[in-house]
């Protein structure tokens, strides 16, 4: 029995040149015609119409191949709209050599999966290998029809901003409606919440949630929050690059693995607009894109990923390591990897805390980037995350001012980012400058800046301030169990020994392994480890190394 049209995957190609359009469709049919339906269009408008019709018919779209240079609506503009209709489709941009910069931009704007230079002949070398990989990834993904979550909130509502950030970082499709717009008011009225607290979240099943907490929200939008069992080989705490790296290697090597994340996988790296010095991505990759691929990879190997679960305690019960959650429940394992990462330090200045989420943001807060278009933006901090955010926001903001305490950003920022900052005309750097206060009623309106060299202060108008002033480890909950240094970073391996002797209360006849804490079977990877490199690549490597040491520990237990 042949599959129905609604269940056959679709490959759609759009190009305004009829000859090119026919050639692409011909090559696609020759390779994929028996397994996929090939649909072609000769304009962005007609392609969008076709996508909407396919959506109504329930036909899943696997891959969209769009030419960049098209009249009225170019390929990038088309893919942005196509993403709203079929978010699960893989996206490819056809470009001429002169348009490669546009293709690179598209990696961040529409989470582009690949771009191909024209001509693509021979297709056996340049077209088919790319499409084969994308179709394999598409088939491995969850392609059930997506009912989009709706969020109704206010522009200057801190919780509204937090909900949007939570959904975006967890790759949950949603639509945003202002409470002041007609559609937003209609949804509020329909839910019986008009004039009450915001945000209102309407889950895919139609349930209305008012100011939901992360765990309630996660459960309603389909994220896993409850462990499938009460005992595992390996529990990984933290879903940043180190935790995801450990999950991939742990699950792929046969360990029953669960990863527990309190907010969203990716950690600080997942919030990065663009990472350019990660091995294997010469054109850069967004943190969200890298995180999504890592999460899908871990899930494909069988790792269980729990979201919106806060860990509050670690107990040692014989050979079992028990991880306790904030709701009183627990999960146990033979071994634990702590990949809790770090959190942004809070800016200690008057009224900053009151305006957090209402113009003041920690980290990139990429969901707010669109609202910064044509605005003056201030960034506090001079490390790589601040530089990446400045370059990303400068694409649409009227101006971006980077505020640094030091005499130069080069003291803490990678050379390649310093060059990009210097070459971007809308970015300026104010050295020897700190924020003394924030001002505003309901949202940020002004900030007071102080020159640390002269003591001079001035007040500037500002509606947007993004803060990157260093980070602190998330390890307070380990007090009394795992040894830490004076700043809270976890001590491991050689840092625990004195003259080659193991730490006090160490029960084994061997010293701790390189990434092992003072508790046998409890390992650390990534930024939470004392003296770690604080780089994405090193965090992923430590996650893989920690799994290797877990195997060694289990073999000797």
Q: pLDDT tens digit string along 15-56?
A: 999 998 999 999 999 999 999 999 999 999 999 989 888 875
266 in any annotated domain: yes
Total domain count for the chain? Answer: 4
Q: What is the CATH number of the domain that holds 69?
A: 3.40.50.2300
337 & 389 share domain: no
244 & 203 share domain: no
134 & 27 share domain: yes
- Give the SS3 label for residue 332: strand
21 & 112 share domain: yes
- Give the SS3 label for residue 209: strand
Distance, in Å, from the CA atom of 275 to the CA atom of 498, rounded to the nearest integer, reads 39
3-state helix, strand, coil in the chain (%, to 5): 35, 25, 40
135 & 160 share domain: no
57 in any annotated domain: yes
**What pTM did the predictor assign?**
0.72
Tens digits of residue pLDDT in 372-390: 989 999 999 999 999 999 9
pLDDT at 97: 64
Distance, in Å, from the CA atom of 316 to the CA atom of 307, rounded to the nearest integer, reads 24
**Residues whose CB is less than 8 angstroms from the CB of residue 468 and which lie 6 or more positions away in sequence, other chains included:** 344, 362, 363, 379, 380, 381, 383, 385, 386, 389
Last residue of a domain, one of 166, 185, 220: 220
131 & 197 share domain: no
Q: What is the CATH number of the domain that holds 206?
A: 3.40.30.10
409 in any annotated domain: yes
* Residue 171, CA atoms < 13 Å, CB-side half-sphere: 21
202 in any annotated domain: yes
287 in any annotated domain: yes
Domain membership of residue 306 as a residue range: 231-343+472-556
Strands (E), 43-160: 61-67, 90-95, 114-117, 149-153
37 & 78 share domain: yes
Q: What is the CATH number of the domain that holds 376?
A: 3.50.50.60
Last residue of a domain, one of 176, 194, 220: 220
Q: Which residues of the chain have pLDDT under 50?
A: 1-6, 144-146
101 & 55 share domain: yes
420 & 540 share domain: no
Residue 471 burial (CB count, 10 A): 18
Q: Which of 316, 317, 319 is nearest to 334 (CA)?
A: 319
288 & 161 share domain: no
pLDDT at 65: 94
pLDDT at 286: 84
Structure tokens given for 162: 């937090």
108 in any annotated domain: yes
366 & 423 share domain: yes
Question: Could you tell me how many helices (H) and strands (E) the chain has, helices first?
Answer: 14, 26
Q: Are 505 and 518 in contact (CB under 8 A)?
A: yes
398 & 413 share domain: yes
550 in any annotated domain: yes
pLDDT at 323: 98
Last residue of a domain, one of 140, 164, 180: 140
44 in any annotated domain: yes
**Residues whose CB is less than 8 angstroms from the CB of residue 121 and which lie 6 or more positions away in sequence, other chains included:** none
> Angle, to 10 degrees, between the axis of helix 128-140 and the axis of helix 287-300?
60
């Amino acid at each position: 029995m042949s599959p129905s049209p609604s269940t056959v995957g679709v490959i759609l190609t759009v190009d305004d040149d009829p000859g090119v359009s026919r050639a692409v469709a011909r090559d696609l049919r020759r390779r994929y015609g028996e397994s996929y339906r090939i649909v072609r269009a000769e304009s962005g408008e007609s392609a969008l119409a076709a996508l909407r019709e396919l959506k109504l018919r329930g036909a899943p779209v696997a891959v969209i191949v769009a030419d960049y240079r098209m009249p009225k609506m170019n390929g990038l503009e088309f893919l942005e709209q196509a993403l709203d209709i079929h978010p699960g489709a893989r996206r490819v941009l056809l470009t001429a050599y002169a348009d490669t910069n546009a293709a690179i931009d598209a990696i961040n704007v529409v989470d582009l999966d690949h771009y191909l230079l024209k001509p693509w002949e021979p297709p056996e070398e340049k077209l088919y290998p790319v499409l084969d990989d994308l179709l394999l990834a598409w088939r491995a993904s969850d392609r059930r029809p997506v009912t989009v979550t709706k969020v109704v909130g206010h522009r200057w509502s801190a919780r509204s901003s937090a909900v949007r950030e939570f959904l975006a970082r967890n790759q949950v499709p949603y639509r945003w409606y202002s409470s002041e717009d007609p559609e937003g008011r209609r949804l509020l009225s329909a839910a019986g919440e008009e004039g009450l607290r915001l945000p209102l979240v309407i889950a895919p099943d139609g349930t209305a949630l008012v100011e939901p907490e992360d765990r309630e929200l996660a459960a309603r939008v389909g994220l896993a929050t409850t462990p499938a069992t009460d005992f595992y080989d390996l529990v990984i705490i933290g879903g940043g690059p180190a935790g995801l790296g450990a999950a991939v290697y742990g699950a792929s090597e046969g360990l029953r693995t669960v990863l527990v994340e309190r907010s969203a996988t990716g950690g600080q790296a997942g919030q990065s607009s663009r990472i350019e010095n990660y091995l294997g991505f010469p054109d850069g990759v967004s943190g969200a894109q890298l995180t999504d691929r890592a999460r899908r990879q871990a899930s494909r190997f069988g790792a269980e990923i729990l979201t919106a679960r806060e860990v509050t305690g670690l107990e040692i019960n014989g050979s079992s390591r028990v991880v306790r959650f904030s709701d009183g429940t627990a999960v146990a394992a033979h071994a634990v990897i702590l990949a809790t990462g770090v959190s942004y330090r809070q800016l200690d200045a008057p009224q900053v805390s009151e305006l957090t989420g209402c113009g003041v943001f920690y980290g990139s807060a990429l969901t707010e980037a669109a609202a910064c278009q044509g605005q003056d933006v201030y960034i506090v901090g001079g490390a790589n995350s601040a530089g990446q955010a400045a370059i990303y926001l400068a694409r649409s903001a009227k101006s971006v001012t980077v505020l640094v305490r030091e005499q130069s950003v080069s003291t803490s920022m990678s050379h390649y980012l310093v060059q990009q900052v210097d070459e971007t005309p809308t970015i300026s750097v104010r050295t020897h400058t700190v924020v003394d206060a924030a001002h505003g009623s309901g949202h940020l309106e002004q900030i007071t800046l102080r020159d640390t060299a002269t003591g001079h202060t001035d007040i500037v108008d500002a509606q947007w301030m993004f803060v990157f002033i260093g980070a602190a480890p998330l390890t307070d909950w380990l007090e009394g169990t795992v040894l830490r240094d004076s700043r809270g970073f976890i001590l491991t391996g050689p840092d625990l020994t004195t003259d080659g002797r193991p730490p006090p209360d160490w029960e084994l006849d061997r010293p701790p392994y390189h990434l092992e804490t003072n508790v046998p079977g409890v390992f650390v990877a990534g930024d939470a480890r004392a003296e770690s490199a604080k780089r994405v690549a090193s965090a992923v490597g430590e996650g893989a190394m920690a799994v290797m040491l877990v195997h060694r520990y289990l073999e000797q237990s």
